[in-house]
């Protein structure tokens, strides 16, 4: 089946209520995640309400004009991003103060500051920056809903200094399966398996149909039990908005390994060396971190985290967290976070202990402080275990620098990760299980590769309105 172009809506678009007794069609607009990995944003609109699925930072699809060493200006981050086409032009969504700018294009930004008469609800699928990164710029009267675990993670990250302050407080918890009504739309979330606690799939019920949104999703983590339960709830939706991350690569990757397999590789690697070992793991994946702590303990090693990692893990109740004592020089942010971690029950260790028995330790690197590797007693059998932490991969700007450090230190790399995204076969299984009327493929370089017999795949463009029901019109049916 060939991919169909996004059909043009036959309505005049949202914002104008139909005459009494008629019902305007629900429309969808995609504002991110088009042929890039990440940044999905889908606006569902009726004349009476709006629901925005995710509000992450855009992933640059071409040249990133704000890459290091350039930074967007603190109070103009959103205005700069909008003028570069790197943020969604959704009217009545953003704080008017964040839209203030001077010079060319400033007037168009001011137009976005006009309030929309309809209530707007934002629903977060999970706590990753490409899904929640624009939160600090939202209008105060826009409600933002998320799973309680997402809010807890946000709070832990904020307190550790790992993300902008003030966002956790504006998130409202939404219990799994509970319906929230906004105008003539209603929203439900259901847990899915990804690589972060609190990840959900979302169902939006409109007067003329149902939309299901996967968020970021997989079937290989812990058996995919949460995901499968969501797919049952989503069965028969008119539209499924699906991520397609793992269809992006050539050749197509194999299905990702399970968390048990990750733990087994780490355990074997640690058992095979008597030297100090290094790790990079992702602090937001606290369940993986807990498994890595256990794997290290079983191998007779202590896993030592930088302060920020330790503070996040301790705040979320992970046991056995160890961070550095003041004998290891760390930057101010790491040191403060480390003190916070200790106040929450983390233990500390020092450079002398590590120097006395390097083979009894596994040390998480601080990707912003490679020079601190010079403090560590690395040996011939030392290696770097890469389990999704930063630098994430060759597509990251700090990857070549890290490779230079590895070469300088003579360290081998042990891949011990597993993606949080469904493999190619699992993605097709997900679409087949939902059996939607149509699938909107996003969040990948090759969304056109998501093809399931009998289910049309839509490849939307940014900002183009799509009716929830094909051929839906203004009059009641
Ligand atoms: Zn994502």
CA of 62 to the centre of ligand 1 (A): 18
Query: Residue 474 Cα, ligand 1 centroid: separation in angstroms?
Result: 34
CA of residue 39 to ligand 1 center, whole Å = 6
What is the phi-psi region of residue 179: left when phi exceeds 0, alpha when psi lies from -120 to 50, beta otherwise? beta
How far is ligand 1, taken at its centre, from the CA of residue 126, in Å?
A: 8
Going edge to edge, which strands form the sheet with 383-387? Answer: 347-349, 322-324, 302-305, 361-364, 277-281, 383-387, 412-415
- Evaluate the omega torsion of the peptide bond into residue 391 and state whether it is cis, within 30 degrees of 0: yes
Beta bridge partners of 409: none
Distance CA 127, CA 144 (A): 13
Q: What is the DSSP letter of 237?
A: -
Q: Quote the ligand 1 centre to 351 CA distance (angstroms).
A: 37
Using the mean position of ligand 1's atoms as its centre, give its distance from the Cα of residue 261 in Å.
23
Say how many C-beta atoms besides its own lie within 10 A of residue 251's C-beta: 6
Task: Note the pLDDT of residue 23.
Answer: 58
| CA 150 – ligand 1 centroid, Å | 14
Q: Give the model's pLDDT for residue 392.
A: 84
CA of 28 to the centre of ligand 1 (A): 19
Ligand 1: distance of its center to the CA of 443 in Å? Answer: 7
Q: How far is the CA of 329 from the centre of ligand 1 (A)?
A: 34
216 Cα–ligand 1 center, Å: 6
Q: From the CA of 92, how far away is ligand 1's center (Å)?
A: 24
* Per-residue model confidence as pLDDT tens for the chain (477 residues): 333 333 333 333 333 344 444 456 999 999 999 999 999 999 999 999 999 999 998 887 788 888 878 888 888 999 999 998 889 999 999 999 999 999 999 999 999 999 999 999 999 999 999 999 999 999 999 999 999 999 999 999 999 999 888 889 999 999 999 999 999 999 999 999 999 999 999 999 999 999 999 999 999 998 999 999 999 999 999 999 999 999 999 999 999 999 999 999 999 999 999 999 999 999 899 999 999 999 999 999 999 999 999 999 999 999 999 999 999 988 999 999 999 999 999 999 999 999 999 999 999 999 889 999 999 999 999 999 999 998 888 878 889 999 999 999 999 999 999 999 999 999 999 999 999 999 999 999 999 999 999 999 999 999 899 999 987 543 333
241 C-alpha to center of ligand 1: Å? 13
Distance CA 353, CA 329 (A): 15
* Residue 408 CA to ligand 1 centre (angstroms): 33
CA–CA separation, 164 vs 74, rounded Å?
Answer: 11
Q: Residue 66 contacts by C-beta under 8 Å, 6 or more apart in sequence? A: 72, 80, 81, 84, 86
Cβ-contact 474, 26 below 8 angstroms: no
Q: What is the whole-number distance in angstroms between the Cα of residue 335 and the centre of ligand 1?
A: 30
Angle at alpha carbon of residue 33, lines to 153 and 399, rounded to 5° = 70
35 CA distance to ligand 1 middle (Å): 12
- Residue 326 CA to ligand 1 center (angstroms) comes to 36
Q: How far apart are CA 145 and CA 171, in angstroms?
A: 6
From the CA of 64, how far away is ligand 1's center (Å)?
A: 18
Encode 310-332: b = buried (16+ Cβ within 10 Å), e = exposed. Answer: bbbbbbbebeebbbbeeebebee
Listed by start position, the domains of the chain span 4-250+421-467, 259-415
Pick the CATH number of 4-250+421-467 from 3.40.50.2300, 3.40.50.720, 3.60.15.10, 3.50.50.60: 3.60.15.10
* Interval between CA 43 and ligand 1 midpoint (Å): 17
**Tokens read off for 250:** 């050539």
pLDDT of residue 62: 80
State the DSSP code for 474.
Answer: S
Distances (CA, A) of 441 to 121, 447, 456, 458: 23, 5, 10, 6
What is the Cα–Cα distance from 35 to 16, expressed in whole angstroms?
31
**From ligand 1's centre to the CA of 273, what distance in Å?**
35
Rounded-to-10 torsion of CA 90, 93, 96, 102: -20
What's the first-to-final CA gap in the chain, in angstroms?
A: 29
* Model-level ipTM above the cut of 0.90: yes
Q: How far is the CA of 300 from the centre of ligand 1 (A)?
A: 36
CATH fold of 259-415: Rossmann fold (3.40.50)
**CA of residue 388 to ligand 1 center, whole Å:** 14
- How far, in Å, from the CA of 100 to the mean position of ligand 1? 29
């Amino acid at each position: 089946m060939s991919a169909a172009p996004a059909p043009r809506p036959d309505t005049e678009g949202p914002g104008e209520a139909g005459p009494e007794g008629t019902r305007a069609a629900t429309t969808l607009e995609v504002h991110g995640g088009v042929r890039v990995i990440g940044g999905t944003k889908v606006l569902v609109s009726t004349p009476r309400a709006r629901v925005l699925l995710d509000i992450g930072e855009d992933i640059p699809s071409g040249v990133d004009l704000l890459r290091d060493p350039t930074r967007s200006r603190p109070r103009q981050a959103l205005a700069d991003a909008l003028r570069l086409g790197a943020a969604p032009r959704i009217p009545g969504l953003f704080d008017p103060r964040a839209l203030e700018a001077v010079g060319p294009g400033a007037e168009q930004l001011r137009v976005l500051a006009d309030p929309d008469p309809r209530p707007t609800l934002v629903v977060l699928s999970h706590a990753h920056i490409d899904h929640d990164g624009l939160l600090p710029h939202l209008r105060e009267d826009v409600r933002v809903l998320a799973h309680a675990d997402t809010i807890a993670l946000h709070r832990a990250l904020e307190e550790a200094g790992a993300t902008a302050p003030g966002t956790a407080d504006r998130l409202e918890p939404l219990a799994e399966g509970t319906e929230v009504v906004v105008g003539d739309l209603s929203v439900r979330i259901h847990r899915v398996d990804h690589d972060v606690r609190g990840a959900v799939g979302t169902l939006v019920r409109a007067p003329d149909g149902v939309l299901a949104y996967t968020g970021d999703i997989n079937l290989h983590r812990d058996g995919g039990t949460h995901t499968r339960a969501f797919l049952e709830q989503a069965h028969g939706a008119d539209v499924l908005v699906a991520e397609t991350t793992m269809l992006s690569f050539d050749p197509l990757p194999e299905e990702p390994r399970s968390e048990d397999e990750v733990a087994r590789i780490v355990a074997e690697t640690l058992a095979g060396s008597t030297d100090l070992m290094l790790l990079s793991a992702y602090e937001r994946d606290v369940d993986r971190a807990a498994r890595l702590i256990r794997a290290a303990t079983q191998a007779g090693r202590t896993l030592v985290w930088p302060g920020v990692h330790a503070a996040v893990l301790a705040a979320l109740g992970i046991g056995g967290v160890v961070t550095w004592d003041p004998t290891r020089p760390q930057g101010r942010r790491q040191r403060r976070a480390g003190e916070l971690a200790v106040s929450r029950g983390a233990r500390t260790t020092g450079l002398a202990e590590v120097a006395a028995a390097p083979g009894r330790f596994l040390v998480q690197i601080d990707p912003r402080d490679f020079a601190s590797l010079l403090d560590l007693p690395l040996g011939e059998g030392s290696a770097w275990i890469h389990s999704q932490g930063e630098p994430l991969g060759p597509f990251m700007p700090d990857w070549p620098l890290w490779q230079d450090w590895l070469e300088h230190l003579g360290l081998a790399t042990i891949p011990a990760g597993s993606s949080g995204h469904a493999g190619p076969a699992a993605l097709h299984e997900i679409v087949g299980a939902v059996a939607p009327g149509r699938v909107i493929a996003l969040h990948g370089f090759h969304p056109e590769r998501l093809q399931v017999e009998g289910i049309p795949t839509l490849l939307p463009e940014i900002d183009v309105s799509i009716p929830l029901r094909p051929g839906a019109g203004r009059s009641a049916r």
